[in-house]
Structure 1
């Protein structure tokens, strides 16, 4: 009974979410690669845009640094550093300045105490630790026939799902702040707004896909637990 549910129903729940995640990753790369070839009218680099947005909002103490890799851009709230990959840091494309503005949006959230970001930052260490225990607990519980261990593993995974869900408003709000900053400060012209939206929306879709995968995985774990009791 268990093997049938695990291989069939669990697969059915998980496959669409995984396909969606692949689609989202492909779309963000295609969109980024498309607009990385479209220069912004002002001729500004990603690092200049990030610096301007930070300074415009009084965040003079936050450094903007170069980091290696591809689409590795992020804001580090602990060290108060905004790190941009090569294509973004020195790039003058619509893609570069949009991504830079998005990361600056996270810095603005941090400075304003944006509640979803505060919650996410607080639960990161706990969720990271608990996530590593999920499958060991589930497997040991199945081997020993101990439903309590499986339930604990699922409870830990619920924390990971909540983290993904909380991440959604954080990312969409950062993109909204980014677009507002770009438009209000005149960093982009009217004809470039749609291009910037395309980049920001494609990036946000990856987080929607991650949430979908985590929810599907939760259903899969629930099926495993239920089948172990049959």
Structure 2
């Protein structure tokens, strides 16, 4: 009972606030620039194929999936999955999001170091992030400080993963903006909208990283209490 309702939850409040603000901001920016049609005259799917061909990536597929703001690049199957909110849309917001995801495909093809490290850590983190909480809670239930410390150690991999994700996301956005400006000569007014949408999206990753760090601090705080009680 102490674990779930202790005052240390206060540590997470800044991260929760930032996460809520980031989600609201990215939704607002995307909705705003979804109403601005780009002068490039291309849909998201057309832009994706153009950028892939320009980069010499003929083995990367483009697929549409239902949803909104769930666009992503799958490095395992080499597929760029575009949401229905971007695939057939020609808005500034849609093109910005699509260009960002193609940026990830280009990173993958060019063996961009942070992406290589992140992809390598992904299966490890998917295992350790769940196991860390199981061990951490079990340590409290059985008053075992060793299990708590192992849980904290495993959770640290999630922090590393989050920190590595930041340069990957920033670089993908920079690549997207550079291609839109240089290769497609998108007007600066539209590029401003793209930057706002991508900056808002990047803020969600910053919020996620902060939340992970605060969660780790909370775990350390609780571990300290457990250690103090044992003494």
* TM-score of the alignment, normalized to the shorter chain, above 0.5: yes
Q: Secondary structure at the match of 1:87?
A: coil
Asked if 1 retains the 8 angstrom alpha-carbon contact of 2:67 and 2:85, the reply is: no
Aligned Cα root-mean-square deviation (Å): 1.5
Offset of 1:12 from its aligned partner? 2.4
- CA offsets per residue over residues 41-61 of structure 1, 9 Å max, x none? 122111111111111110012
TM-score by length of 1: 0.96
Q: Structure 2 stretches of 5 or more lacking a match?
A: none
Q: Structure 1 stretches of 5 or more lacking a match?
A: none
TM-score by length of 2: 0.95
Offset of 1:186 from its aligned partner? 2.0
Offset of 1:180 from its aligned partner? 0.4
Offset of 1:204 from its aligned partner? 0.6
Offset of 1:25 from its aligned partner? 0.6
Residue 107 (structure 2) pairs with residue 109 (structure 1): yes
Q: Secondary structure at the match of 1:229?
A: helix
Residue 176 (structure 2) pairs with residue 178 (structure 1): yes
Match in the other structure for 2:218: 220
- The alignment of Structure 1 onto Structure 2 pairs a total of residues equal to 228
Match in the other structure for 1:7: 6
Between 77-86 and 183-192, the greater mean CA deviation after superposition: 183-192
- CA offsets per residue over residues 21-69 of structure 1, 9 Å max, x none? 0100110011001100000012211111111111111001211111111
Match in the other structure for 1:67: 65
Offset of 1:11 from its aligned partner? 2.1
Match in the other structure for 1:58: 56
Asked if 2 retains the 8 angstrom alpha-carbon contact of 1:49 and 1:187, the reply is: no
C-alpha separation in 1, matches of 2:53 and 2:21? 36
Of 80, 96, 99, which aligns to 2:97?
99
Asked if 1 retains the 8 angstrom alpha-carbon contact of 2:47 and 2:98, the reply is: yes
Asked if 1 retains the 8 angstrom alpha-carbon contact of 2:163 and 2:209, the reply is: yes
Between 128-137 and 208-217, the greater mean CA deviation after superposition: 128-137
Match in the other structure for 1:123: 121
